[in-house]
Amino acid sequence: MTNPSPRMTTKEAAQFLTEFGFKTAPSTLGKRACLGGGPEFEKWGNLRLYTPEKLIEWAESRLKKCE
């Protein structure tokens, strides 16, 4: 069995992204979860759970290259 990625709540995910250099509020992740366009997540009861890999993938996909 492989080690699963740690999962984070919305608040923890926002803090993780902010610490990684992508300033994000928990309310932004909540809104994106409802309207679409946010990072992939899993549900555990009422909680949305995010993995670090999916958060970074989402944040990097939002970057725009300036030349």
Instruction: Band the pLDDT of 65: cuts 50, 70, 90.
Output: confident
Chain-centre distance for alpha carbon 50 = 6
SS3 5: coil
Would strands 47-49 and 42-44 be described as parallel, antiparallel, or unpaired? antiparallel
CA dihedral 9, 3, 53, 20 (to 10 degrees): 70
Residue-wise pLDDT tens digits, 16-62: 999 999 999 999 999 999 999 999 999 999 999 999 999 999 999 99
What's residue 5's pLDDT? 82
What's residue 2's pLDDT? 64
- Asked whether residue 4 carries a pLDDT value surpassing 80, the answer given is no
- Asked whether residue 1 carries a pLDDT value surpassing 70, the answer given is no
